[in-house]
Structure 1
């Protein structure tokens, strides 16, 4: 049996009397396709969703723009958009898409979707009989979104700590700090945590790329934390993270990780809610514009509605230790001042409602002698927030 890896998730074989007809249904990034006969030459269409981009999408209002590109090496026979309703996927309507080009066609439609749960499915069939199906799930209305927020979401945390350096002086607390923060996130708030220690430049960027390939849902959150050396270059006018293998006197800064690169790469991670924190020297130079406004406040009736509001807008927030200056690594085994206050905030559980928001973390950080910087970057939407929900 010949096996081929393709960028699709689920393959099912139909029509045993037609060996050239295969069906592919896609839900995530990878699958393994097994053909019973190596002589089969079935080609499948590729469906690229543009809008809605995420596999699961939540809307407060009931209109959505549907856009997708369908491409195929073999001529396309038909493309159909199905609109289905509810968890049982009851068919409401279907629309045949006009094929502009036998090898490439666009799906473009603006439509109203009903309150509750709607499934959008595109089916593309080639002349050779290959069938590809991909879907998007859209939840509309506060009740539908609220259910997703309370049950159908996940929090991720990726923490980097570097104690040992090849060309810089070693530090004593970054590893201890990130391990302690990771423990609180995992045990107190239920985060799925990964800690990366003493990483070289390539390891840092490779790990960030790995997190950019996760299939996030709309209310999923990603917390990224760096602890280690940082540097600022007056000529470039930019700050840098120092990796384990960064050179001490690297005039070009090619062995460092620039804040511009970090900002761009993290902003492009397809997670709607990202909070970046850096406990490094010159961390405040991450963003030249310091956000002066606080997160939007809402007068709400219950925790579920509160969380819906907080997680309804795209979040790109940052918190760094200090500004354009060196910051303390602290005494060995006693945490850096920044990490110590971060841990105090996490251990507070967010107070009586057990929901810790960024403004509450900021209040803990303002006690520090070297005032941390808090702000927004990239495609952040005003009024968005990042929440830590205590168990």
Structure 2
């Protein structure tokens, strides 16, 4: 297998970066190569109640090199990504094929003249990359003319990531995004340590108002396919795993009223490279990069609204410090607003909203319902989801049905039936399902099943699973070893949870003096 990187260790090592960002979780077969891409800010044109916001995308693909291994798919990737961005999202597209460093930087600088304050810009780069971990502690793009390390030991023909970030940061538009699909692409993301989650945005349900609010603050975003790890190029004639899943996510969400970077990133969480959304340069406030906000006065439909609220809810939980979880009732402004939105929809008969407001009440997150209202919402959700599952053979809400019982909101009448429901609810597309399965197994003193479920969710990149798994290993390491499990280092999973933005994991690490 060919990787889009070469690694250089402490003596004379250097990491060859693959700039290929969005990486899909598939098995790499013979004939594939590895690489990386950078996704840059993209501009779109949307005229919305006085907001003239154009979208531009500069897509850069390099698969031919004078001194490095050729790659299979970068140009194919950027062409197809450009097609969906243009046809379904209204971006003005510019594609650079096998450019020199000078061509890339010159083209990027030209956008300073094009972009207006309310425009949006996306930069996507696919190709080889490198990382020097001894002298520069910096990542570099490998361009067509870049020489190998023997000929260029000081990396003068390499294009530093920082050069690209500096130009992008100083563009006049409020929203600029880099999408980086690279081996060790986390080097592009200079602010992972902020542990900020784009899911905790103050979404407004009118798409016009939403876009205006997002453009209020300056935002510099970067989506990388991983941290300091390799990513594959994909078989010849196909797409890189990440590009393939990015294209699918863009197409699947094209009809939605609002599409943001956070929304797309959530659909890439199952990738083995652990794609992460972070920040670079001068970023103010808590905005999210907007790929699309429908140019109409129509409201976001309730399903989209609930999905956004659920994402915001988990995002807010990720950002809470350890001190909050020592309280029986967590009453932040953000959680109150989310709970109030669910409550309003629940009072109007929305069943999913009834579940979520009852769940937040049960967990003590932002709302206190009176007993009658709580019981009414719980019973409505249970009756609806039960009928849906057992009579209509529809498993759309099977996870919520299991949570009603496993989380203690309702009495468990039949543990065997519940266990079967939990098994049916497990989904690699929704790693949070393993978190709730693990919690139930722990309550039932089923240590082996708890470990297996939390481990599956942790490997899928779910920070809540990673934290609970770390805690489980810390408490029950001897018992797990007696069950035959090995590689039981709680610190590793605690670190992963922290890297994935779970604030309380970072707090635990700091309290114990654990460092990366």
**TM-score normalised per structure 2:** 0.45
1:65 aligned residue: none
1:347 aligned residue: 251
1:76-155 correspondence runs (5 A): 147-149=49-51, 152-155=52-55
CA drift at 1:188: 0.3
CA drift at 1:204: 1.0
2:268 aligned residue: 365
1:190 aligned residue: 90
Change (3 A) 1:361 1:301: closer
CA drift at 1:299: 4.8
- 2:76 aligned with 1:173: no
1:335 aligned residue: 239
1:242-391 correspondence runs (5 A): 242-249=142-149, 250-290=152-192, 291-295=194-198, 296-349=200-253, 352-353=256-257, 355-389=258-292
2: CA distance, partners of 1:239 / 1:168? 17
**Is residue 201–residue 287 contact of structure 2 (8 Å, CA) maintained in 1?**
no
Measured on the aligned residues, the alpha-carbon RMSD in Å equals 1.8
2: CA distance, partners of 1:254 / 1:193? 30
Bigger helix share: 2
Following TM superposition, where does structure 1 have runs of at least 4 consecutive aligned residues deviating by more than 3 angstroms?
Answer: none
1:129 aligned residue: none
Q: Give SS of 1:271's match.
A: coil
1:7-26 correspondence runs (5 A): none
Once the two structures are superposed, residues 310-361 of structure 1 have per-residue CA deviations (whole angstroms, 9 ceiling, x without a partner) of: 22211100011221122100111221111112111211225642x2111111
Q: Give SS of 1:329's match.
A: strand
1:230 aligned residue: 129
Change (3 A) 1:287 1:349: closer
**Is residue 166–residue 245 contact of structure 1 (8 Å, CA) maintained in 2?**
yes
Matched residue count:
243
Q: Give SS of 1:262's match.
A: helix
**Is residue 344–residue 364 contact of structure 1 (8 Å, CA) maintained in 2?**
no
2:109 aligned residue: 209
CA drift at 1:280: 2.2
1:44 aligned residue: none
2: CA distance, partners of 1:188 / 1:379? 30
1: CA distance, partners of 2:48 / 2:103? 37
CA drift at 1:213: 2.4
CA drift at 1:281: 2.1
**Is residue 350–residue 357 contact of structure 1 (8 Å, CA) maintained in 2?**
no
Gaps of 5+ in 1: 1-144
2: CA distance, partners of 1:352 / 1:387? 12
Change (3 A) 1:174 1:237: same
**Is residue 345–residue 360 contact of structure 1 (8 Å, CA) maintained in 2?**
no
Q: Give SS of 2:163's match.
A: helix
Higher relative contact order structure (alpha carbons within 8 Å, sequence separation ≥ 6): 2
